[in-house]
């Protein structure tokens, strides 16, 4: 028989206790929220109120795990979170919340261990960054938190545009959340409608138009609604009374005429007597980039309609302003449209290397932008080295970065991310397509070098020697024919700087000028 010493018993008790903490969950529901007039509450997550604002869980690289659960034996939904030592996660609201007239943010939290955490609304306009409030959670019972919103307003947060909620400073814990809502303590009934409505077009882009709107309301907040029934537009956003608000209408079609109607209302449902009509025409999208012609066996593709992808990817949440939307340019040719493009990270295969690029020589990307002034790109392999690439505006730039020149220390067996960066930053818009690593097709090069015919770059020009009387064709790496001639004995060809494929008869050679 095995004898358990006091030390053994203590260890077992600790292990069992840890297991119980990890598995324990509330058996009783959180306190039932009070009844509020519809204009006095904005529900994010609660069974007590109808039509809550939907949200998506934001892991944000924290390792936190979310599951939707119910209190045992009850039809009561709760959100369970298991955090790591990093101790944070986010709720990404599917529509902006106008909490400018609200006084409190309510959250019910249950945990087996007491801890403190920071609560932060993330707003479209934050004069001085995030301003968290620290709150305390009790052990073994529901803690009802009522967070003061005036603190955030006093610290420069525009609560008319809340689009995320951040929970942080938690540490490693298991917690349950219920009844998340903004509410007002006022009992006044507002019957006064907004007035002094104005609206005008600021700008139109490919897939969006920005309007400047203003209206006043005694409550201190207004909601602007922009509609175009013919084109299926109906979107609302909150703003502060009497302040100019730039309303970006997104999800439009490129190269199309719109006729927007702008109205204003308050949270009590009072609607301004007047509306404003604002016509707008979106910009025509560019034609698709030229299809690449590199042989598939010489390519490791990340994103392209031409090649099978070597790995999956997502655009990481790296606190960028960039939004990436897949669009169709031409017949079935897809590309990504980048709005407010400051930088963007492509996380490959869940940030785990999925291919060996040892034999690859170049990184290719096609880029189009009407206003970019600087473009940088780098693979990430445990290190990174943003490489500057010259680009021209209002045309497709077929970019091929020489890996040996740009990233001499890169570990080609451990590429797990790609990063791109642009200036002037959040004002930049761009299209990207055909992102892949590739190597030169060496067939034909030996015969050109070792035979009578020589093809080489010298003094900024391309020279073809020993090919007199033969047809010489020069192609850009995009596949476009840029020069064709019957060669003289020493044919000198002037071309812009770049990479070219030179074909003499049936032989081919790559040359970089």
Tell me 409's DSSP state.
T
Given a cut of 70, whether residue 12 has pLDDT beyond it is no
pLDDT band for position 417 (50/70/90)? very high
CB 336 within 8 A of CB 304: no
Instruction: Kindly state the average pLDDT of the residues 181-207.
Output: 95
Tens digit of pLDDT for each residue in 317-370?
Answer: 888 999 999 999 988 899 999 999 999 999 999 999 999 999 999 999 999 999
For residues 386-414, one letter each, b for 16 or more C-beta atoms within 10 angstroms of the residue's C-beta and e for the rest, the string is: ebebebeeeebbbbbbebeebbeebebee
Instruction: Kindly state the average pLDDT of the residues 47-58.
Output: 92
CB 402 within 8 A of CB 408: no
Tens digit of pLDDT for each residue in 142-193?
Answer: 999 999 999 999 999 999 999 999 999 999 999 999 999 999 998 888 899 9
CB 180 within 8 A of CB 106: yes
Tell me the DSSP string of 145-210. Answer: EEEEHHHHHHTTB-GGGEEEEEEES--S-EEEEEEEEEE----PPP-PPPEEEEEEEEEE-SSEEE
Could you tell me the two tokens for 224?
């602007």
Among residues 97, 160, 103, the alpha carbon closest in space to that of 126 is found at 160
CA distance linking residue 179 with residue 190, whole number of Å = 26
pLDDT at 14: 39
| Burial of 120 (C-beta count, 10 Å sphere; 0-12/13-18/19+) | buried
Q: Which residue has the tokens 């206003």?
A: 371
| Residue 38, phi then psi, degrees to nearest 5 | -55, -35
Tell me 78's DSSP state.
E
Q: Which of 381-395, 446-460, 492-506 has the largest mean confidence?
A: 381-395
CB 484 within 8 A of CB 471: yes
Pairing of strands 362-368, 397-402: antiparallel
pLDDT at 21: 39
List of residues 6+ apart from 126 with CB closer than 8 A: 156, 157, 158
List of residues 6+ apart from 275 with CB closer than 8 A: 197, 261, 262, 263
Tell me 472's DSSP state.
E
pLDDT at 448: 57
Instruction: Kindly state the average pLDDT of the residues 313-319.
Output: 90
Tens digit of pLDDT for each residue in 267-301?
Answer: 888 999 999 999 999 999 999 999 998 999 999 99
CA distance linking residue 95 with residue 108, whole number of Å = 22
Given a cut of 80, whether residue 58 has pLDDT beyond it is yes
pLDDT at 501: 85
Given a cut of 60, whether residue 66 has pLDDT beyond it is yes
Instruction: Kindly state the average pLDDT of the residues 464-483.
Output: 79
| Burial of 85 (C-beta count, 10 Å sphere; 0-12/13-18/19+) | exposed
Q: Tell me how far apart the terminal alpha carbons of the chain are, to the nearest angstrom.
A: 83
pLDDT at 394: 97
List of residues 6+ apart from 201 with CB closer than 8 A: 209, 210, 211, 212, 278, 279, 280
């Amino acid at each position: 028989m095995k004898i358990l010493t006091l030390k053994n018993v203590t260890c077992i008790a600790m292990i069992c206790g840890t297991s119980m903490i990890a598995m324990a969950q509330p058996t009783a529901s959180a306190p039932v929220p009070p009844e509020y007039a519809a204009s006095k509450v904005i529900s994010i997550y609660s069974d007590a109120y109808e039509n809550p604002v939907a949200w998506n869980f934001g892991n944000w690289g924290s390792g936190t795990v979310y599951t939707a659960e119910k209190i045992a034996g009850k039809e009561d939904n709760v959100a369970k979170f298991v955090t790591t030592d990093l101790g944070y996660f986010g709720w990404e609201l599917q529509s902006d919340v106008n909490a400018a007239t609200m006084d409190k943010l309510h959250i019910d939290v249950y945990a087996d261990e007491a801890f403190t955490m920071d609560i932060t609304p993330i707003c479209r306009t934050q004069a001085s960054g995030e301003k968290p409030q620290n709150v305390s959670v009790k052990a073994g019972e529901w803690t009802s938190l009522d967070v003061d919103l005036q603190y955030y307003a006093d610290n420069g947060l525009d609560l008319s545009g809340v689009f995320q909620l951040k929970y942080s400073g938690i540490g490693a814990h298991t917690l349950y959340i219920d009844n998340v809502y903004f509410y007002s303590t006022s009992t006044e009934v507002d019957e006064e409608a907004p007035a002094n409505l104005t609206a005008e077009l600021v700008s139109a882009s490919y897939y969006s138009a920005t309007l400047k709107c203003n209206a006043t309301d005694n409550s201190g907040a207004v909601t602007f609604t922009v509609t175009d029934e013919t084109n299926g537009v109906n979107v609302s956003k909150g703003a502060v009374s009497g302040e100019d608000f730039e309303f970006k209408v997104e999800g439009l079609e490129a190269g199309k005429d719109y006729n927007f109607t702008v109205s204003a209302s308050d949270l009590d449902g009072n609607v301004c007597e007047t509306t404003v009509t604002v016509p707008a025409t979106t910009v025509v999208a560019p034609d698709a980039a030229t299809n690449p012609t590199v042989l598939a066996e010489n390519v490791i593709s990340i994103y392209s309609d031409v090649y099978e992808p070597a790995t999956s990817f997502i655009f990481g949440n790296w606190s960028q302003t960039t939004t990436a939307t897949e669009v169709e340019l031409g017949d079935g040719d897809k590309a990504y449209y980048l709005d407010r493009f400051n930088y963007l990270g492509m996380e490959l295969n869940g940030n785990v290397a999925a291919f060996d690029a040892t034999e690859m020589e170049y990184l290719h990307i096609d880029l189009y932008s009407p206003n970019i002034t600087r473009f940088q790109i780098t693979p990430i392999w445990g290190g990174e080295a943003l490489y500057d690439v010259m680009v021209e505006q209002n045309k497709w730039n077929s970019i091929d970065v020489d890996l040996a020149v740009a990233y001499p220390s890169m570990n080609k067996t451990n590429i797990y991310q790609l990063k791109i960066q642009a200036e002037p930053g959040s004002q930049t818009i761009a299209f990207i397509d055909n992102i892949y690593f590739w190597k030169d097709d060496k067939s034909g090069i030996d015969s050109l070098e070792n035979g009578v015919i020589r093809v080489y770059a010298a003094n900024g020009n391309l020279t073809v020697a020993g090919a007199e009387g033969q047809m010489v064709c020069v192609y850009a790496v995009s596949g476009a024919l840029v020069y064709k001639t019957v060669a003289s004995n020493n044919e000198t060809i002037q071309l812009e700087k770049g990479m070219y494929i030179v074909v003499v008869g049936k032989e081919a050679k790559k040359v970089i000028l």
